Amino acid sequence: MQNKYLDDHEWQIIESQWNPDNHEGSESLFSIGNGYMGQRANFEENYSGATLQGSYIGGVYYPDKTRVGWWKNGYPEYFAKVLNSVNWIGLKVEADGTDLDLNKCKVANFKRVLDMKQGLLHREFTAQLTSNIKLKISATRLLSMTRKEIGALKYSITPIDCNPKLKITPYLDFDIVNSDSNYDEKFWDSVTENVGSQKAVLQAKTKKLDFQVAAAMRYEFYINNEHFTLYPESSKKEKYAENTFEIQSEAGKTYSTYKYAAIVSTLNIPKNQLISAADNLASEAMKDGFNEIVKEQKQAWAERWTQSDIQIVGDIEAQQAIRFNIFQLSQTYTGEDSRLNIGPKGFTGEKYGGSTYWDTEAYCLPFYMASAGQEVAKNLLVYRYKHLNKAIENAEKLGFKNGAALYPMVTMNGEECHNEWEITFEEIHRNGAIAFAIYNYIRYFGDESYLAEYGLEVLLGISRFWAQRFNYSQAKKKYVMLGVTGPNEYENNVNNNWYTNYIARWTMQYTLEALEIVKTQNPTRFGEISAKANLNAVAERELWQKIIANVHFPRNEELGIYLQQDGFMDKELLQATDLHPSERPINQHWSWDRILRSCFIKQADVLQGMYLFEEHFSKEEILRNYNFYEPKTLHESSLSPCVHVITATYLDKMDEAYDLYLRTARLDLDDYNNEVKEGLHITSMAGTWMSIVEGFAGMRVKGNQLYFNPKLPKGWEKLSFNINFRGALLQFEFSNNGFKMTNNSTEAGSVIVKDEPHSFGAKSSLEKSYL
Amino acid sequence: MQNKYLDDHEWQIIESQWNPDNHEGSESLFSIGNGYMGQRANFEENYSGATLQGSYIGGVYYPDKTRVGWWKNGYPEYFAKVLNSVNWIGLKVEADGTDLDLNKCKVANFKRVLDMKQGLLHREFTAQLTSNIKLKISATRLLSMTRKEIGALKYSITPIDCNPKLKITPYLDFDIVNSDSNYDEKFWDSVTENVGSQKAVLQAKTKKLDFQVAAAMRYEFYINNEHFTLYPESSKKEKYAENTFEIQSEAGKTYSTYKYAAIVSTLNIPKNQLISAADNLASEAMKDGFNEIVKEQKQAWAERWTQSDIQIVGDIEAQQAIRFNIFQLSQTYTGEDSRLNIGPKGFTGEKYGGSTYWDTEAYCLPFYMASAGQEVAKNLLVYRYKHLNKAIENAEKLGFKNGAALYPMVTMNGEECHNEWEITFEEIHRNGAIAFAIYNYIRYFGDESYLAEYGLEVLLGISRFWAQRFNYSQAKKKYVMLGVTGPNEYENNVNNNWYTNYIARWTMQYTLEALEIVKTQNPTRFGEISAKANLNAVAERELWQKIIANVHFPRNEELGIYLQQDGFMDKELLQATDLHPSERPINQHWSWDRILRSCFIKQADVLQGMYLFEEHFSKEEILRNYNFYEPKTLHESSLSPCVHVITATYLDKMDEAYDLYLRTARLDLDDYNNEVKEGLHITSMAGTWMSIVEGFAGMRVKGNQLYFNPKLPKGWEKLSFNINFRGALLQFEFSNNGFKMTNNSTEAGSVIVKDEPHSFGAKSSLEKSYL
């Protein structure tokens, strides 16, 4: 059930009424981040109501001891979790001795605004503490896109018709818990607390792995825009430091605290320099001032939007939603650091450990390729390259040999974290997505040199895994793959999941091609890789070719469809419409065995394969499979609808496509699954982008050529977006009558729209009506 | 790897050397019990070495909060665990201020003897504490078979060549931990501690469910068999009470403490009477004295052995082993209380929660039917009858309707405890074993009235479950059962496990027969059941009959075998001999996915079905299946070998049968799996009994008639045992040349041996040579 409490707006997310029941959800929705760190929209002042405090630093994680009911051989010993880190926003407010706490006062004129155009979070309200004390509060916050280690905020208090004594306490707090700690352990230990006048710095370290983080704060105080000199009291305790100052206020005057925090970690800076680094950065930020930092922020976001904006004219909800999705994706991953990746909840919550899933390759890569460019996309791929040795170790643990690589289902540093056998050991199609991403990257950027540089080694490891994971069935006289979990996690331990078999065979084929390409283009590097990977090309190639020629693909000839797995047709073949709404989502209402033996599909599975390999199948074949599987698909994974949107659009099922689109695009904004308080579905947001660009705009890249086949949903007057393609920033605008495009680059090129080729010159525009 | 450190003996288990490494194993092996409670062979005196303290009361359990990695809908909230209870044996010894602790002194002449004939545990040794102090210790302990609440021990100290001051401290201790506590919680809270001179009583309650237990102790002291009056100091703390007394000893004299403990619980006695009940029982025990209690014990065990003994002449290891197994089974369950059952580890350890598994019906029932008689066997069945409503609730939780019953995989009170979806929700064949036990009981005792009384209601619930659990496959035009785990737990979530489909179909057939029987024999009761179960016999019967006629049974025609499940032949078909010994057991060396997709079988599965329904198959068919499955069976469950022993014997594969027999019979004595310290494999001990009686003696009951087809292993000169059959106690002795039998009852009868019928009169013997 949808919970729509936010206002529609093209560029902003607006909450215009205070309702504590929505607060935790809003804490997720109004999260800010800059790729380096993230902060939920927790309040600066004390709040005694329900809240999920969250402040996260990319790449700083904690290996929490695994919790299982029944240990199975091969389970990982720990689950790496995104670490809830220092509270840098904290600022306590008392007026005449009464704490400002929205849970304990009357709140009026509440407004919370996430300004996506400028990358700012703003909040204002009037709080009535007692009959005499009324305060107007206005707070603006950002995590700087240009100064990655810097968070800054302005917090203003205006007494209304009263003159309370204000006591203001800016603080830093490292005494933080992870709400998902397996054994209720706190993960941070104190290193240092220093506190002075108008400044403080804390250093803490993780109980395992010895990540160290230092956070410094500086602040200044203004009355009605005039700087005011303070003589605060400072105090500290373990993992905590604060300043406190009091001021006799006057009604109507505005008392503003500007707080600057710098957060640095041993990911980038040696331990013994953390304190000084944090201190210097915070001090510099204060010197430059809040307004300057805001100015930089606006400029940085303007540049980003130039790269990545999508405009939808005629559908304000869709417009707001896609911008929200792009905004959150851009806050989560900025692509400078190949040690980082995209957690399913980004920096907006703890769930799923903040680690890397196949979501990155299967859903996120296209967005970053088109909107953030080649270096960013490449870093996402290199992340996996760096983990190749761990993937080989992981496969060895499971009994595979000879350099076979199984990438983890969930990881922070390349090691497997997940501990459900049916996922951890069996949901191996993730390996296929990682191989496909290499192909996809090369297809998009035309950068075949990536194979020699990084790609081939990864492909080799994965193909070796597939070759060992298939076994020959004497009964079928085919190679089969037993005991897997496909993308549809509502099946476990099935035989011959069509998608997995398909992407496995494809990987082996592509690896054989890649071997040839590298051998031809870069014989030196080929020699190196051969030596390193102990490559006996002839024998391995023969086995692979035998497998490639003889993979079993379950199929129903009568219906002309591929079967999700062996035996699928033995199920009771119901449709989603046969379910009573009270049973949905079935994963909250049905026992697991019932889900498993039902025909219901959590997320695209056969259709996921047909989406990835569209050109391998006729439209009729895709239609037959879509007609069989779509009615059985419940889309109870946030990653599911986008694939169906794209396929439905391809099949001209526009109403279905649009319904699914709206659900995925506003999944979090309208909190369809009543879970937004746990964090946002960051990776599925990339699916929303795919739904528009690959779905409604029908973008494809084939043979170094960009194709579009736009089909706008009803009511959409115009759909415009920018695409980075082969170094050029291309602007497209599609309407029902025609399209415009602008090429801002200095190279000419061509594009195929609705099967018509159109050439364009350097620095030129093009406008065409459809016939 | 076997660890054989015990001496061979017909009637005793003897450990004749002190080796701390074996101690925890011996604590399991030398356990004593009386069906009401049990006690591991922990030392009375302090012991600072590795030990697993264990004292258990049947039916007193703790619902420990479930621990899972990933919660799945339908999981039970708690796992009922056998509660480690009061330490009643405790008796600290100091000599001249030095603690007697076998971990801290030189030990000589150590001997630990479990006297199975008499039900006594004896231990003696000489301990050298310091250069001057040498003590000879002798300790005898029992849990009374006649006074269920009473444990008694005699602990004698004889100083050798020294005259130390002895300080002796008998105590009771309820400050006990379960080593398998999920969250390191202690499960007992204090209610009362009372302590006086030569007596103490504690009452404690469980933190959940409010089980209350009181333990009282009395003791007396003798010097060289002369009673000695003590003036001890008493003290107590929470959950603990002790007496301490000192005596100046003289070399060569023997100082004996006789300690009597009574343990009562709210299972049988109201809360407010526990203290006095315990106190009275302990006082009475002391009044009657240790020697009297020992005398009663010897007599009680003599009677039990008359019922249940098996003699093997010519194979001392086999002889010792079978008596050990019978002894432990008889200690675990005595059948007076239908609220109790047989935990896989009985009262000898914590693992598996001490709860009830399908082991009871599938493996234990035959032993108790033949050796303990009808009332005991009936109580095992009534246990499940009493849980029928909970089984119906359990099925409802999983989405079943209309009185369908799914019995739990693991339970203490009828509610499911287990929390692995592949077991909890899918290993549903347990329902079949519960139905089969009803049939088996009636077949054995000829007691068809059981159907009307209890059986039919249970059968109805189970058959309704099966009818809903099958679904019609349009593809196969058959009823299929998807997503199950068969007896072979090295497969999960398979389709059409042959065993499960077979026993499910059989249950439905048998239920239809049972309905007719009750309708004819007891129309009144039939009316009651019909009303209670809302029985619409016609409609249900039609569906059941349709299913019965159309169940899919996977089969390989070429080999003439049934397939364990759909798709089994797609596996790489290896044999156990293809495995390197370092890989065994595979569950300790292979990852779970690898186990699942291998062809290796943990325990009898298809062969389990052919064992239960032997008469449904031709010998050739059983042979073909045995030849296919036995080489793939790893017997990594202790429950597996017995079925193969019986089938191998039936198929005249005597060497295979004997090898497997010895492994199962001495599994714990020789600690094949290096796990005996966790407790004994109580339920698999019943399988050992089956191996002999149904295997080597070939006993069957068909058409109210007892059949034997004896085939003795090499070296066995004679095999004798007693069988309760239809109220008569029959003694059989088989040799290679012929057999003898004695009928002690007043009814004549007949028996068929090697296909030859033999009549026997009342109170008569029979001796026949084979032709």
Query: If you count DSSP H runs as helices and E runs as strands, how many of each does chain B have, helices first?
Result: 22, 32
pLDDT of B340 over the 80 cut: yes
What tokens does B15 get? 């450990």
In chain B, residues with a C-beta closer than 8 Å to the C-beta of A566 are 566-567
pLDDT of residue A320: 96
Condensed to tens digits (0 to 9), the pLDDT of residues B81-94 reads 889 999 999 999 99
- Spatial CB neighbours of A710, under 8 Å, sequence gap ≥ 6: A696, A697, A698, A719, A734, A739, A753, A754
- Burial tier of B456 (Cβ tally within 10 Å: 0-12, 13-18, 19+): buried
Beta bridge partners of B127: B107, B135
In chain B, residues with a C-beta closer than 8 Å to the C-beta of A494 are 493
In chain A, residues with a C-beta closer than 8 Å to the C-beta of B475 are 569-570
Mean pLDDT, range A707-714, rounded to an integer: 96
What tokens does B379 get? 């109580």
> With a cut of 0.95, is the ipTM above it?
no
Rounded to the nearest integer, the mean pLDDT of chain B is 95
Selected residue with higher pLDDT from B664 and A322 = A322
Mean pLDDT, range A190-208, rounded to an integer: 95
User: A493, A494, A555, A582: best mutation site toward chain B, by most B Cβ within 10 Å?
Assistant: A493
In eight-state DSSP terms, residue B389 is: H
Beta bridge partners of B64: B79
CB contact under 8 A, A483 and B597: yes
Mean pLDDT, range B293-309, rounded to an integer: 96
- How far apart are the two ends of chain B, measured CA to CA in Å? 43
Q: How many other C-beta atoms can be found within 10 angstroms of the C-beta atom of residue B619?
A: 11
Beta bridge partners of A449: none
Q: Give the whole-angstrom CA distance, residue B406 versus residue B652.
A: 38
Rounded to the nearest integer, the mean pLDDT of chain A is 95
**Opening angle at CA A52, ends A48 and A54, nearest 5:** 120
| Torsion sign across C-alpha atoms A372, A377, A379, A383 | positive
pLDDT of residue B383: 96
pLDDT of A354 over the 70 cut: no
Condensed to tens digits (0 to 9), the pLDDT of residues A124-140 reads 999 999 878 999 999 99
Q: From the list B425, B590, B596, which residue is nearest A483 (CB)? A: B596
Mean pLDDT, range B149-156, rounded to an integer: 98
Condensed to tens digits (0 to 9), the pLDDT of residues A474-509 reads 999 999 999 999 999 999 999 999 999 999 999 999
Distance of CA A459 to the CA centre of its chain: 24
Ramachandran area for residue B635 (φ above 0: left; ψ -120 to 50: alpha; else beta): left
pLDDT of B538 over the 80 cut: no
In chain B, residues with a C-beta closer than 8 Å to the C-beta of A572 are 471-472
pLDDT of A578 over the 80 cut: yes
Locate the chain A residue with the closest alpha carbon to B398: A591
Q: From the list B69, B399, B483, which residue is nearest A66 (CB)? A: B69
Q: From the list B73, B569, B596, which residue is nearest A591 (CB)? A: B73
User: In one letter, which amino acid is A568?
Assistant: F
Describe the crossing of helices A641-650 and A682-690 by its angle, rounded to 10 degrees: 0
Q: How many CA atoms lie within 13 A of A600 on its CB side?
A: 22
Does the annotation count B185 as an active-site position? no
Produce one character per residue of A374-393: b if its CB has 16 or more CB atoms within 10 Å, e if not: bebbbbbbbbbbebbebbbe
| Torsion sign across C-alpha atoms B553, B557, B560, B564 | negative
Radius of gyration of chain A from Cα atoms? 27
Q: DSSP for B243-303? A: EEEEEE--TT--EEEEEEEEEEETTTS-GGGHHHHHHHHHHHHHHH-HHHHHHHHHHHHHH
In chain B, residues with a C-beta closer than 8 Å to the C-beta of A73 are 587-592
CB contact under 8 A, A591 and B72: yes
Condensed to tens digits (0 to 9), the pLDDT of residues B462-499 reads 999 999 999 999 999 999 999 999 999 999 999 999 99
Distance of CA A513 to the CA centre of its chain: 32
Confidence class of residue B354 from pLDDT cuts 50, 70 and 90? low
SS3 at position A192: strand
Catalytic residue selected from A24, A193, A427, A489 = A489
- Closest CA relative to residue A514, chosen from A588, A456, A554: A456
Condensed to tens digits (0 to 9), the pLDDT of residues B675-734 reads 899 999 999 999 999 999 999 999 999 999 999 999 999 999 999 999 999 888 899 999
- Pair type for strands A226-228 and A212-223: antiparallel
**Opening angle at CA B452, ends B447 and B454, nearest 5:** 85
Radius of gyration of chain B from Cα atoms? 27
CB contact under 8 A, B69 and A69: yes
pLDDT of A768 over the 90 cut: yes
CB contact under 8 A, B472 and A572: yes
Produce one character per residue of B528-542: b if its CB has 16 or more CB atoms within 10 Å, e if not: ebbeebebeeeebbe
SS3 at position A272: helix
Place of tokens 């005057």: A253
Closest chain A C-alpha to B597 CA, distance in angstroms: 6
- Spatial CB neighbours of B136, under 8 Å, sequence gap ≥ 6: B109, B124, B125, B126, B157, B158, B159, B160
Which ranges constitute the DSSP H helices of B605-730?
606-612, 619-629, 641-650, 654-665, 682-690
| Cβ contact A289:A225 at 8 Å | no
What tokens does A143 get? 């995590």
Q: From the list B66, B74, B566, which residue is nearest A591 (CB)? A: B74
Locate the chain A residue with the closest alpha carbon to B396: A591
In eight-state DSSP terms, residue A362 is: I
Q: Give the whole-angstrom CA distance, residue B309 versus residue B286.
A: 32
pLDDT of B167 over the 70 cut: yes
Mean pLDDT, range B625-648, rounded to an integer: 96
Cβ-based contacts under 8 A for chains A and B: 133
Confidence class of residue A82 from pLDDT cuts 50, 70 and 90? confident
Place of tokens 């088989």: B734
Condensed to tens digits (0 to 9), the pLDDT of residues A249-306 reads 999 999 999 999 999 999 999 999 999 999 999 999 999 999 999 999 999 999 999 9
pLDDT of residue B552: 98
In chain A, residues with a C-beta closer than 8 Å to the C-beta of B66 are 69
Ramachandran area for residue B233 (φ above 0: left; ψ -120 to 50: alpha; else beta): beta
Catalytic residue selected from B489, B491, B678, B694 = B489
Q: Give the whole-angstrom CA distance, residue A324 versus residue A14.
A: 12
| Order of strands, sheet of B165-173, starting from the edge strand that comes earlier in the sequence | B98-99, B91-95, B165-173, B240-248, B233-237
Instruction: Please tell me the least confidently modeled range out of B134-138, B304-308, B388-392, B429-433.
Output: B304-308
Condensed to tens digits (0 to 9), the pLDDT of residues A546-572 reads 999 999 999 999 999 999 999 999 999
CB contact under 8 A, B594 and A475: no
Q: From the list A73, A567, A597, which residue is nearest B592 (CB)? A: A73
CB contact under 8 A, A567 and B567: yes
| Torsion sign across C-alpha atoms A282, A283, A287, A288 | negative
pLDDT of A511 over the 80 cut: yes
Closest chain B C-alpha to A477 CA, distance in angstroms: 9
Closest chain B C-alpha to A61 CA, distance in angstroms: 19
CB contact under 8 A, A567 and B495: yes
User: B570, B590, B599: best mutation site toward chain A, by most A Cβ within 10 Å?
Assistant: B570
